[in-house]
Structure 1
């Protein structure tokens, strides 16, 4: 793609609007369906689980930074890794939908854990490929990887504390 045909700041605005809409849907569903009360009042949870508003703000920041990384790769990325990176970032957004379906709608801590595990693997892969396409976009992905790692830990603890599943060796 010629440099003159690369996405402008308008596309970044569109990416941010879509990301904001997505976070609004997830956040709205979490509060409207009572999942927040379910997690904080009904489930056994780790003592180190932050308050829901902190989790919400970090989720919003993660989604918006992913949109920025998508635009940076789309605008400044190069080579085969540019297209693959765009695809992986779109898959990461879809993985959020998987978590939404499993954890928020079905209220299944095990499904939520496996959805976050898949998202973690996908984030690690995306980080590697994005690094080949555009270094700054890869730098933007490190906090996302850290956040996903933290949420993987939270999901594992919720699953461990709230299922009768025996985890051999853990």
Structure 2
């Protein structure tokens, strides 16, 4: 389907997405085993061990999605969609900083809603360029939707 050079061009997208994940993890890891576990959380809260595999999978899907848009479109067509993608990546990282780093649950809820809307905007922009790229972001929308509701409930309960 793709030649070796095409696959190598995917690497920067993977590196950037995993770097954002790593930066977010710097904020998360210091708080998740202490502060986060002391918070009152809804009974349906996913176990902490599931977040790493889910987020890793989502970041890889995001990288592949952005790469499909970049690879399959001319720069003029892809530029706006990839700008939205970059903005949502930064917002993703910032949520970890606000929620776990600053331990500001209320502001984190506002931030994650902005992130969720930006992911939807990115998906819509990707849809016009690559149907597969848009579909690859649907699990991300769902997971951040769940995370948004979880953030809201934790805010209410604490």
Which residue matches 1:35?
A: 32
Match of 1:122 among 115, 118, 125: 118
Tell me, yes or no, if the aligned pair for 1:29 and 1:104 is still in contact at 8 Å: yes
Which residue matches 2:63?
A: 67
Measured in 2, the distance between the counterparts of 1:126 and 1:21 equals 20
TM-score (norm 1): 0.83
Following TM superposition, by how much is the alpha carbon of 1:94 offset from its aligned partner in structure 2, in angstroms? 0.6
Measured in 2, the distance between the counterparts of 1:36 and 1:90 equals 29
Q: Cα deviations across residues 136-159 of structure 1 (Å, max 9, x unaligned)?
A: 101111111111111111111111
Greater relative CO (CA pairs within 8 A, separation 6+): 2
Which residue matches 2:92?
A: 96
TM-score (norm 2): 0.88
Match of 1:133 among 129, 133, 137: 129
Q: Residue 8 of structure 1: SS of its match in structure 2?
A: helix
Mapped pair 1:157 → 2:150: no
Residue ranges of structure 2 left out of the alignment (5+ in a row)? none
Q: Which runs of 4+ in 1 moved over 6 A?
A: none
Which residue matches 1:22?
A: 20
How many aligned positions are there? 154
- The RMSD of aligned alpha carbons is 1.8
